[in-house]
Structure 1
Amino acid sequence: MTDVEKGEIANILLDEVTYPGGKRGGRGSRPISLKPTGKTRDIMRLIPVTEAPSQFFRRMIMGYCKKPFGKRERTVFKETYTKLCAYCDAQQPIRVSTIWNPQKVHELVPYCIASGVEEMYNYLLCQEYNAETNRPEARAYMLHRIASFNISPMQSVLDDGVKQHLLKMMKLGPQYAINDDEEVCVKLNEKGQEYYSRIYFGRPRYDTIIKQADGYYQYYHCSMEQVFLYFRRFDPINVEILYPESLRDRMRAFYRSGIERYAIDKETTFQSERT
């Protein structure tokens, strides 16, 4: 966030306060009541006698805006963050529901809360049993999307294999679950390698890169989902997934669906319908 954006946010908030002497914060602003009640007494004690309440809150808000987004998120969800950290330290199994489906309960073994590579969001890294694969797997839940949680009576323990995958997620990107160790090979031409250097958000981190006469060969041991979501943004002429075959087929199907959507016969039909 730039200084200009921070200033704009502060000014919007200042429109809600009243300055000493009754002066309004701005056009269309309204005062916020901060009466010296039992609930606000401790807050009022923090304000220096030489400073108006509005000045104090301005400094507080500006200090908040200067923090990285991930730290601001931890501040807003401090109660959730603190309790989950305690459960992670104890590896206490918990039951979690998310804002997307509050009725669905997830039985988890929490491991840690990690920040994304971009330092924008915080993720609860944990173990969750997958009934389809009949095995425990690594999972990641965004901190701000956790609706509720409580202690689970289940006596689950963290699997050693899952723990290794969680450690890898902490290093490579916690938002992308890793549940296998299969190698991924991606081939890029000069233009593709240039795009890889420039497109930062969501970029997977390769283990090895080898430059050959026909292009750059990148080798990954990370989330296949991350590789797919990142490289599908590239022009297919500049990138090719060589293996594994399952990921190669998935990318092929993605490009095929795009071609079918823009097929000539469909465009002809669209033009005829318009006329």
Structure 2
Amino acid sequence: MIQVEEKIKIYIPDFIHAILLNDMEKFLFFKKNGELNKNAFINTLIVNYVERYQDENNRYDDYIKRNIYETFKTASAVQAEELSNKILSYIQLSSYHLLNSKNDVALSLKPTKETAGTIQFIQDYNLHGQSVSNYFRNMFASYAYLSQDKRERIIFKERFDRIEQAIQEKRKIYFTTPNNNRHIASPYCISGSHEELFNYLLCVANGKIYSFRINRIDHVMILKDSLVIQESQAKLFEKMVQYGPQFAIRSDQEICVHLTENGIKQFHSLYIHRPVAINITQDETGANYYFDCSPEQVYQYFSRFGQDAFIVYPADLRNRMIQQIAKAYRMVQRLSRELEGEKENKPGKSSEIEI
């Protein structure tokens, strides 16, 4: 039986190590002192991914053995198993670019009381002749090749499962967000961002539509109360799924943005969080783009366009953008004055020539 005190050394390529470190940071796996909690993350990954990973391996294994039996009619079960393991191992090494990897990084895994049993099961039943270190190396590579939003679903599997159960049973949920803010909400769905980065809980709380990033909520509990979502709210949720679930849409409101010729070029080249235009009209100085998405999405996207984007309406969004530009302008002026002051106070070289 594996002991909790025992550490397992796992050697993985540096590019996979970089992905794991990035996920630890993005998914907020930190110790109290601010350092990344590598052991907690790795243990969570193993427990939440082992069944899915093994199911995938079993499907490959069954397919390979079936073809072995069809090709070699006299092959025994033992021979088929050995050959299948060798083929599967090679497929994993080549598909995850693990062959001839020269820049391996060592990870130390210390099993916890919660994961020791799972790791023992892996050692007893899943290795098929390979070392436990090599098994985890392949597992982490398989995980790393998934998109980030799919990896997030693995790390927060329990959270996803509980929310999706509540949606299926049409019940409200309780959860907390940072700073121990408590919420009771009617969940509508979980939706991944179009950029495949994060997943969002779309829900109604206190009659208002909200979008919460899954890795920022915790302590999810299913309540006995039935969820309450109006038909009009459901339509707005569908817009959020279509345009970007990270931006809450709370009303049907058309937004018009005028873009200069340069702004149009930027719009076509900057695709992250880009809103979808429902109509475009040309004029002498550029074009008017019309949107029915979240005002926050329009604000965040076009705030980097400067003078090449002007919000025609609604007025409150236009004024917000103007205030932001004015604030940035004042900051630039202040920094310029400070730099000029430093230059004036800095002693210069004498222009006189000593004889």
Q: Report the TM-score, using the length of structure 2 for normalisation.
A: 0.64
- The structure whose Rg is larger is 2
Residue identity matched to 2:318: R
Q: Give the 3 Å change call, closer, same or farther, for CA 182–270 of structure 1 in structure 2.
A: same
- For 1:116, the equivalent position in structure 2 comes to 193
- For 1:101, the equivalent position in structure 2 comes to 179
- Deviations, residues 227-247 of structure 1 (Å, cap 9, x unaligned): 0011001122x1111111111
**Secondary structure of 1:227 counterpart:** helix
Answering whether residue 19 of structure 2 is matched by residue 5 of structure 1, we say no
Tell me, yes or no, if the aligned pair for 1:89 and 1:112 is still in contact at 8 Å.
no
Which structure 1 residue ranges, 4+ long, deviate > 4 Å from structure 2? 7-10, 25-34, 153-156
Tell me, yes or no, if the aligned pair for 1:47 and 1:53 is still in contact at 8 Å.
no
Residue identity matched to 1:239: A
Tell me, yes or no, if the aligned pair for 1:187 and 1:241 is still in contact at 8 Å.
yes
- For 1:127, the equivalent position in structure 2 comes to 204
Pairing 1:149-188 to 2, within 5 Å after superposition: 149-152=220-223, 154-188=225-259
**Secondary structure of 2:176 counterpart:** strand
- For 2:306, the equivalent position in structure 1 comes to 235
- For 2:333, the equivalent position in structure 1 comes to 263
Equivalent-residue separation in structure 1 for 2:109 and 2:278 (angstroms): 54
Equivalent-residue separation in structure 2 for 1:193 and 1:27 (angstroms): 45
* Match among 212, 219, 244 for residue 290 of structure 2: 219
Residue identity matched to 2:162: K
| Structural RMSD (CA) | 2.9
Pairing 1:45-60 to 2, within 5 Å after superposition: 45-60=124-139
Per-residue deviation at 1:51?
A: 1.2
Equivalent-residue separation in structure 2 for 1:216 and 1:273 (angstroms): 44
* Match among 251, 258, 267 for residue 196 of structure 1: 267
Tell me, yes or no, if the aligned pair for 1:89 and 1:111 is still in contact at 8 Å.
no
Q: Report the TM-score, using the length of structure 1 for normalisation.
A: 0.81
Higher helix proportion: 2
Q: Give the 3 Å change call, closer, same or farther, for CA 45–246 of structure 1 in structure 2.
A: same
Tell me, yes or no, if the aligned pair for 2:16 and 2:140 is still in contact at 8 Å.
no
Q: Give the 3 Å change call, closer, same or farther, for CA 181–8 of structure 1 in structure 2.
A: closer
Equivalent-residue separation in structure 1 for 2:199 and 2:264 (angstroms): 29
**Secondary structure of 2:275 counterpart:** coil
- For 1:21, the equivalent position in structure 2 comes to none
> What is the percentage of aligned positions where both structures have the same residue?
29
Tell me, yes or no, if the aligned pair for 2:306 and 2:325 is still in contact at 8 Å.
no
Answering whether residue 148 of structure 2 is matched by residue 78 of structure 1, we say no
Per-residue deviation at 1:72?
A: 0.3
Equivalent-residue separation in structure 1 for 2:145 and 2:14 (angstroms): 12
**Secondary structure of 2:252 counterpart:** coil
* Match among 313, 316, 329 for residue 246 of structure 1: 316
Q: Give the 3 Å change call, closer, same or farther, for CA 203–4 of structure 1 in structure 2.
A: farther
